[in-house]
Structure 1
Amino acid sequence: MNKKISIFALITILITGIVSMSASKQTVKADDLPIICLGTSLTNDQKDGTLKTLTKPLNNGSYQTITIDGNDLVKYLNPSGDNFTTNSGVWSSAMIKKSASGSGINVQIIDYNGHNNITKITTSQYKNAALTAGISDADIYVTSATPIDGSGALAGVYAAYAKTGENLNQAQVNAAQDEMGTLSKITKENSDKDGYSDAQLNHAVAGAKQEMGKVGNNISNSQIHDIVDKQININHLGDTINNNQKQQIINVLIEVRDSGALKNHNFKQQAASVSQGIKEHAKGIFDKINTPKNRNWFQQIWHNVTEFFGHLFGGTLVLN
């Protein structure tokens, strides 16, 4: 009898263990769920429409929501010079979800009822700002029920990222906001010029960050100046970016360094991912400018040098 009881007890323990293991596999921690940030000024219909728009990439997966209001704008954006109040309206919204380690920062602006209502901030600007702010390995989706610049969505991204347990450095957030404002202003000033695109500018900045990451937090102002010169030439912006605009880019990147962003051990890798993502998103632009005919003297000499040494050593040579 005791033997039968022991066997029964053993079977019960095994079954309980299997059920517990199965349940634990199906449980998803709340912190791992995508977070949707809804602007507090949305009407009920607009909230429903925004949720419908932002959850499309989830394929009916679970998510959690938070509301972004004037307090969030004041907390995250005012230290960089904005003038929001606690009563400021917020319409633009966003979703952020963690992605696999090393996948980088991916941003998509989703049309709301067939319209892109984010009037000022581009996907490339969102990517660069997120990188500077300290966000890594995340998929970010942005939309708005009404035409708006998109600042509220970015504050939402900061707030949502903090909710996942990742604390953002306010100095980096300030640098990110200054950077985005500067790049947006430069794009507006050059929008009607041939040979210029926002993608080229942001690709140059992301490339500069990648090079800065290789040097580290002790990089000098003169080194940053040289890196910006190089990236402007690589991205064929030498004829459109004037000296004043170049200095603004240098100043922003000095602020990025001073914010402590370069101390992040994976900053260089995330910057490389942002750079590659911008290039892939604007493939038509970069295919057009990166032809032998359109290469400037700097790129042609660099290409010849690497090709020469590659042949000399009987293989492919990569120079960082």
Structure 2
Amino acid sequence: MYICFDIGGTNIKAGLFSHDGEMIEKVSVKTPPEYDRILDILISIAESYHSLKACAVAVPGTCMPADGKVLFCPNLSALNGHNLKNDIAAKLGIPVFLENDANMAALGEYFFFEKNNIKNMIFLTLGTGVGGGAILNGQLLTSDISLFEAGHININPEGPRCGCGKRGCLETYASVSGLLRTYANLSSAQELPDGANKVFSLYKSGDRVAGLSFEVLGGCLGIGMATLANILVPEKIKIGGGLSEMSEAFLPNTLKVFSKHIYPAYRDKVTIELSGLKNNAGLSGCAATCMLGR
């Protein structure tokens, strides 16, 4: 069996998988702000199971997959500078694999859902931040440092400050925090929504500001997708993460803006779809990594 972890800025998801990639059990706990507590949670969950063959971990930022060091997580700085791979391996005594969370999600979506259909794919995760991964010729695009930080392509050089320190990243518009910021900027209400689910509820009830907020998110996402597609020309761009479950509120504008900004020769070559694995893509990518042994 394999133990897999998807560490997010809000929650840590853990999944126990069989040798053929079937999820047997899944748990989720709040992500603490300290590294030692994060490590303790991972070890505690792993040690509650027996006969583990390998472990894989998805982290919300830039890492060195082979070396095991986490370099920079904009929304979870507690991981920065730590060798998470070695720290887990020292406790569990089994092979440990490490990769960026969106890269893991891209691999999971491809390996379990698309590998018999296409060869080239971009996967975007919309949640606390915006992540991205790419499959080229049936293989995850990777290197000695995790690649494809799609959330940090620039949408507006004078835009809001991002957690990475730059301004106007895609993430500042197409994430949960981006949605809430846009709503706050457009609204004159004294009491603002405390989460994306609340903004979505307002949208469904006909709230005009909520609708405009999702429209901004969708438009910026369309620009970002077109930018990526103009470089890689994937057969599909797939959308996962928590915000993908609210796609009815933003996807129509995403498709409209994407069609406007993509290079004309590529317009009919790229389709946009929601993830088949939804919020389990990251954990499934971890399982695929364990199965592949890399």
TM-score normalised to the size of structure 2? 0.33
Higher relative contact order (CA 8 A, sep 6+): 2
| Larger fraction in strand | 2
TM-score normalised to the size of structure 1? 0.31
Larger radius of gyration: 1
| Larger fraction in helix | 1
